[in-house]
A and B are shown apart, each in its own frame.
Chain A
Amino acid sequence: MSRFELFSPEGLRVDGRRYNELRAFDCSINTHPHSSDGSAYISQGNTKVLCLIRGPSDTLTTTSGATASSADEPTISVSIIQPPYATTERKSTSRTDRRMAELSIIIKRALQQCIVKKNYSRTLIEVSITILQLDGSLLPACINAATLALIDAGISMYDYISACNVALYDTFPLVDSNSLEENDLSFLTIGIIGNGDKINLLLMEDKVPLDKLQKLIDLGITGCHNIRQLMDNVVREIGIDLLSKKL
């Protein structure tokens, strides 16, 4: 199928990982303190995403057009920007691209479930995501970045929402897929709020036999929990640092 061996008989993937190994995960929050209320940068392997949050702010004072929010919950707007330099192919994606539009709706809906809505009546929360570099696992990286940025903005959430991709190679699920794997294999995006087994987000676009689904979901959930733990560690570290500077 491909001249790369995506999963060797020894159990190694193209980049030398095991099936259940995440890529190098790094994140930081409060990267843009002046231009946003909350900001986060995340890198999962070569996928690098930046998320800025403005809000919660008065719906009236913003200029972003029609926002007739319902009375008792915040309006969340998500915009995703993928500059041409994000991929090896210098292709600019327009703002009206249906795929991007779908992605932003999905992210919006996932966040909606996670934010304590009743605390933010009549407000607007603007989430803008910039994809700096893309190497697979796009949606998970966006969601993870958005979670961290929301936390940085001090917005009440029921729990972290973490997401990760799982690709299927023959009968082997591969966690946190990169673009090489995603090009050739079917993959599934899974998003979890908190540490439970309940699925908030499930997205799959390619063919997978029905009986393989369970394996993918199971590994995906584990991956999400791990990512949540990694993010939590960073948030805690920063918290301890801040605490030392308090009076």
Chain B
Amino acid sequence: MSIISITTPVSKNSEIENFSKDDEDESMYDDAIDGVLKKPEKKYIGIDNRSIVTPGELITEDATWMRGHGTYYLDEHTYSSVAGMISKVNKLLSVTPFKGRYRPETGDHIVGRVIGISNKRWKVELGAEHAGVLMLGAVNLPGGVLRRKSDNDELQMRAILKEGDLLNCEVQSTFSDGSASLHTRSLKYGKLRNGMFLKVNSSLIVRTKNHMHDLPGGVSIILGVNGYCWIFKTKNNVENKINAATGKAESEMKAASSSKGYSVGMGSLSITRLEEESSWEIYSDKNDIISANIKETISRYRSCLVALSFCEIAIDVKRLVKAYEISLGYGDVNSLVSEDIKKSIGEDLINSEKMRG
């Protein structure tokens, strides 16, 4: 015995309604065939930045546009191949999908995780289609930039970065299949410690000039362009600066005294100090001692990020800080995990932005 299935067709869409109504009165089959014969109404979209297209939709019949990502063409017609927004830069026409895997671009500041070591390179998972490659030659080796790479270094690659380590790097170049080659040749890049990892959709991260930010509350964040974020305790740059003013010797002594912790100014951008400060310590596995207060702030920022990603709101630092402020009004960090609160944080944020205009 099977069950009778009775469903009332709900006409969500006027199209369907017409389709059924038109045909009711007249004889049945001619209509079905007519329906096929009916010339499909041609949609014609002016090329507007930010207008929405879906796969297979005709974007333009103008052949002068260059066709970028997310499009394909036939003769003079350009069609969209993804659901997304049209973007045009000069004469380049492309469609940015609403969602999708991260596509590396040269210069992107990203966070990745080492998943394998092979012939002079690390494989780094980026959330992209292909794993990225970090060559041994593209990292700062302890001992400074002028040091020659020896076979010994090749053997010791695991001592520098091993499987599971998170790192903070930049896309050096991309290959034709979309995979990326990475580098960490700057003191702001390198292995990540003292914090918490969070993954959001890469399409939510807004590309900006700077992706590493100090946030109120003694916490910093790296908003990787690939959607991988790292929230960590702000490095004591301030302290370093004061130290530098009062006397280098003193700071060095201090560094020496707190030998168990991480003390070298990894956040410093000075190239001249690169040599002296690139020591094995920057690849240390040990975390600093983090106060409960900072830990709570980190987890509050995390919850805010989760809330923004839950509401699919594009993320930048301003919004994150705003969300953080809003979240303070919702009490304890624990309470931020509930869906309702996540939703209302998102709504509050959008509303407050609207208020400001």
Contact = CB atoms under 8 A, between A and B. Distances in A.
B6 interface: yes
Contacts of B31: 20
A173 B52 contact: no
Nearest to B95: A156
B125 to A, nearest CB: 7
Nearest to A222: B35
Given A45-B5, A61-B125, A154 B101 contact: yes
A179 to B, nearest CB: 6
A57 B102 CA distance: 11
Interface in B35-68: 35-36, 40, 50, 52, 54-56
B55 A157 contact: yes
Interface residues of B, number: 59
A238 B304 CA distance: 23
Contacts of A24: 7-10, 12
B19 A226 contact: yes
A121 B144 CA distance: 39
A153 B97 CA distance: 9
Given A18-B20, A18-B24, A222-B36, A229 B129 contact: no
B83 interface: yes
Chain A contact residues (Cβ within 8 angstroms of B): what range?
35 or more
Contacts of A15: 4-7
B27 to A, nearest CB: 10
A157 B82 contact: yes
B314 interface: yes
Interface in A174-222: 178-180, 183, 193-195, 197, 215, 218-219, 221-222
A41 interface: no
Nearest to A71: B177
A242 B98 contact: yes
Interface in B91-118: 97-101, 115
A236 interface: yes
Given A56-B101, A180-B2, A226-B15, A197 B7 contact: no
Contact of A235 (B3, B54, B316): B54
Given A61-B125, A61-B131, A243 B100 contact: no
A94 B312 CA distance: 38
A151 B54 contact: yes
Interface in A102-125: 116, 120-123
Nearest to A123: B129
Interface in B1-33: 1-10, 12-13, 15-16, 19-20, 23-24, 28-29, 31-33
B72 A116 contact: yes
A37 interface: yes
A190 B56 CA distance: 19
A183 B9 contact: no
B9 A21 contact: yes
B82 A215 contact: no
Contact of A183 (B2, B98, B203): B2
A158 B81 contact: yes
9 contacts: A15-B6, A20-B31, A24-B12, A58-B130, A123-B130, A157-B55, A159-B79, A194-B56, A239-B54
Interface of A: 4, 11, 14-26, 30, 33, 37-38, 45-46, 55-58, 60-61, 88, 116, 120-123, 135-136, 151-160, 172-173, 178-180, 183, 193-195, 197, 215, 218-219, 221-222, 225-226, 229-230, 232-233, 235-236, 238-240, 242-243, 245-247
